[in-house]
């Protein structure tokens, strides 16, 4: 997949300049090549911020973060509707670059921006979520389940972009004695015929990879033996980088999934995901 140059800056809440203490509360990403300016701001977990500055009225933060959001959205009245805060602006690269530079300029306010940094990525929207998870949600310190949550959110965004989200919904699939939740299931006459789920295998060592793989494979096998596994299943896998034993073990897990007639694809392969998900339009 083609790599694109992106600029990004981290949004910081800095109520007391005297102490220079701040909390990361958002990320702004620019990709001039694709005409994309995206942002995510911490609005759901405001207590994480207000607890850090416990002597500060929480309304100061909540009103401030709303003002930052309004400022970003005002830059392009013709902007596309945001998806989880991701915004694509019209006007081409010069307008995008000017908007990014204006927002990330030095400020002497409660909210400021880090120095501008650069990163290469095939998918600026996915990179925005990854950066937000790292700098704001501190995903590296989160339970492993959080990684799959990020993957599910990204898949959901892709389905929205492809106008497929209405064809899929979460569903518990299985027998009376064993069920597994699939976040994306397409049904025909109330029968599950197509299902998608995420599997995060970019773990710390081979034992964790195999343990996670065995858990998912065992569940799918039980459902298949009960005759309730949809004919078309796709597992979207995030694996370690190639060139080491952990990647090879993750590939072994994928091979075991395929023995159950379950398709697998890399998390970065959006084309394969779209091709599979689009088949729901053809189902009777």
What the block records as the tokens of 278 is 């689009």
Task: Give the pLDDT of residue 83.
Answer: 42
DSSP helix/strand/coil, 6: strand
Residue 283 has pLDDT above 80, yes or no: no
Provide the phi-psi class of 74: left if phi over 0, else alpha when psi is between -120 and 50, else beta.
alpha
DSSP helix/strand/coil, 153: helix
What the block records as the tokens of 102 is 């204006």
Q: Which residues have a Cβ under 8 Å from the Cβ of 235 and sit 6 or more positions away? A: 196, 197, 198, 199, 216, 254, 257, 262, 263, 264, 265
pLDDT 10s digits, 35-47? 888 888 888 767 7
Query: Using the 8-state DSSP alphabet, how is residue 277 labeled?
Result: H
Query: Using the 8-state DSSP alphabet, how is residue 177 labeled?
Result: S
Task: Give the pLDDT of residue 144.
Answer: 61
Whether the CA torsion 167, 169, 254, 217 is positive or negative: it is negative
Q: Mean pLDDT across the chain, nearest whole number?
A: 85
Map out the domains of the chain as residue ranges: 4-133, 151-281
Phi, psi of 107 (to 5 degrees): -130, 150
pLDDT 10s digits, 180-226? 999 999 999 889 999 999 999 998 889 999 999 999 999 999 999 99
Distance CA 81, CA 83 (A): 7
CB-CB contact of 216 with 258 (8 Å): no
Q: CA angle, 154 as apex, 150 and 158 as ends, to 5°?
A: 170
- Tally Cβ neighbours within 10 Å of residue 262: 22
Where does the chain have alpha helices with state H? 46-52, 58-74, 92-103, 124-135, 144-161, 206-225, 245-258, 270-278
Distance CA 219, CA 224 (A): 9
Nearest to 127 by CA among 34, 27, 266: 27
**Rounded to two decimals, what is the model's pTM?**
0.56
Site of tokens 């306010």 = 109
Of 278 and 90, the one with more pLDDT:
278
pLDDT 10s digits, 6-40? 999 999 988 887 788 888 989 999 998 888 888 88
pLDDT 10s digits, 81-105? 444 444 444 444 567 888 889 888 8
CB-CB contact of 171 with 192 (8 Å): yes
State the CATH class of domain 151-281. alpha beta
pLDDT 10s digits, 222-247? 999 999 999 999 999 999 988 889 99
């Amino acid at each position: 997949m083609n790599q694109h140059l992106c600029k990004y800056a981290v949004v910081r809440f800095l109520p007391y300049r005297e102490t220079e203490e701040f909390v990361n509360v958002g990320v702004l990403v620019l990709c001039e090549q694709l005409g994309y300016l995206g942002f995510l701001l911490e609005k759901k977990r405001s207590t994480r911020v207000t607890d850090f500055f416990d002597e500060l009225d929480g309304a100061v933060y909540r009103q401030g973060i709303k003002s930052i959001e309004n400022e970003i959205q005002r830059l392009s009245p013709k902007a596309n509707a945001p998806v989880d805060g991701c915004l694509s602006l019209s006007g081409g690269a010069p307008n995008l670059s000017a908007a990014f530079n204006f927002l990330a300029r030095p400020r002497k306010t409660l909210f400021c921006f880090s120095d501008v940094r650069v990163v290469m990525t095939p998918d600026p929207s996915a990179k925005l979520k990854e950066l937000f998870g790292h700098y704001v949600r501190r995903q590296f310190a989160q339970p492993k389940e959080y990684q799959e949550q990020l993957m599910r959110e990204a898949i959901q965004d892709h389905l929205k972009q492809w106008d497929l989200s209405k064809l899929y919904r979460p569903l518990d699939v299985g027998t009376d004695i064993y069920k597994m939740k699939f976040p994306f299931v397409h049904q025909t006459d109330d029968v599950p015929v197509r299902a998608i789920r995420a599997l995060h295998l970019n773990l710390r060592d081979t034992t964790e990879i195999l343990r996670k793989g065995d858990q998912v494979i065992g569940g799918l096998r039980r459902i298949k033996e009960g005759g309730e596994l949809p004919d078309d299943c796709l597992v979207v896998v995030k694996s370690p980088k190639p060139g080491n034993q952990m990647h090879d073990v993750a590939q072994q897990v994928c091979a075991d999934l395929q023995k159950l007639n379950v398709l697998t694809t890399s998390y970065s392969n959006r084309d394969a995901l779209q091709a599979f998900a689009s088949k729901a339009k053809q189902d009777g």
